[in-house]
Amino acid sequence: MARDLEIRHCRALVALHEGGGVGAAARALGVAQSTLSETLLSLERLMGAPVTVRRIGREATLTPAAEALLPYARSLIATAEAALAATAAQHRATVLIGTVESISSFLLPAPLRDFRSRWPNVDVRISTGLCEDLRRRVERAELDVSLTIEGVGEGASGAGLWPARLRLVTAPGHPLTGRIASRSDLVGRTFLLADSEGAFNGLMRSWLATSGSAPRLESAGSVEGVKRGLATGDAIGVLPDYTVADELAAGLLVALDTADPLPPIALRLTMQELPQPAAPVESLIDTLRDAFGDAKPHSVK
């Protein structure tokens, strides 16, 4: 085995010097005298020389060899404490995530649970908002990362994109259920969206702009508000598929089939700069990749 000077040796040596005896040193370190004595014997074997010398009527004092080792022992203790402090600071880090309500409620809970199990001392703070605002906050370094859902160009892929699917959903028994609806079938219908200023409003306005009348897009305030609104009328909900998977499987809502495909959407992960290796943010991104797929984050720098 390697003959290494250990931190316990250093602490015992310093405590012995400052305390003036084994008893006082043991009390200062909070260990039994027998434990401290064993540590000192181990240090003597490592040094190949005695650590203390006893004089009649006096406590044990350090030998010249031990005195020579003392400044190095203090330096090693200081280095070890600095290293532990740096590690503790990293583990006490705060990760600021900005996202939209649907992702926060339906997609983040599982990967965040996994992340927190690996980084229990990291403070994860989530704020919700509109996609464009969240990206700006990342640019201003107010957020570490943003996870948004928005429209993408046809065939778009690459940095920070995970494909998702937009759904038109209705209550069972809606006049358009059981048929393939054309865009003209949707003229005059009321569409419920979670947010009046979200990305889906512009997408749906463009997609429905095939008739002379403007689409009726109304905000329900939240994903759950859209679902409740569908139960009390003949409106059509516009939601990402992951928010209605359970209701569709249970038959509580029905997916409306359309003759033309709905606008493509995707999850986008944006961050200010690439994270340092082994940092909490890097671990968070890896966790999201495991949950959503292997996409690289889009960096604003």
Query: What's the pLDDT score for residue 89?
Result: 57
Asked if residue 183 is part of any domain, the answer here is: yes
216-247 pLDDT tens trace:
899 988 999 999 999 888 899 999 999 999 99
Residue 65: domain span: 7-91
Give the model's confidence band at 282: pLDDT under 50 very low, under 70 low, under 90 confident, else very high: confident
User: Are 300 and 146 contacting, i.e. CB atoms less than 8 angstroms apart?
Assistant: no
Give the model's confidence band at 1: pLDDT under 50 very low, under 70 low, under 90 confident, else very high: very low
- Strand 123-128 vs strand 254-255: parallel, antiparallel, or unpaired? unpaired
% of residues, the chain, pLDDT over 70? 86
143-161 pLDDT tens trace:
988 999 888 864 443 446 7
Query: What's the pLDDT score for residue 301?
Result: 45
Task: Answer yes or no: do 156 and 270 share one domain.
Answer: yes
Q: How many Cα neighbours within 13 Å face the side chain of 276?
A: 3
Task: Please name the residues in contact with 143: beta carbons below 8 A apart, sequence gap of 6 or more.
Answer: 96, 97, 98, 127, 134, 137
246-274 pLDDT tens trace:
999 999 999 999 999 999 999 988 887 66
Task: Answer yes or no: do 255 and 174 share one domain.
Answer: yes
pLDDT at 176 over 80: yes
11-51 pLDDT tens trace:
999 998 888 888 888 888 888 888 988 999 999 998 888 98
Task: Answer yes or no: do 217 and 292 share one domain.
Answer: no
Asked if residue 1 is part of any domain, the answer here is: no
Q: How many Cα neighbours within 13 Å face the side chain of 234?
A: 8
Query: What's the pLDDT score for residue 56?
Result: 55
73-85 pLDDT tens trace:
999 999 988 887 7
User: Are 62 and 51 contacting, i.e. CB atoms less than 8 angstroms apart?
Assistant: yes
Domain count along the chain: 3
Task: Answer yes or no: do 101 and 54 share one domain.
Answer: no
Longest distance between any two alpha carbons in the chain, whole Å:
109
Query: What's the pLDDT score for residue 158?
Result: 40
Tell me which residue of 98, 83, 128, 118 sits closest to 222, measured CA to CA. 128
Q: Is the pTM of this model over 0.85?
A: no
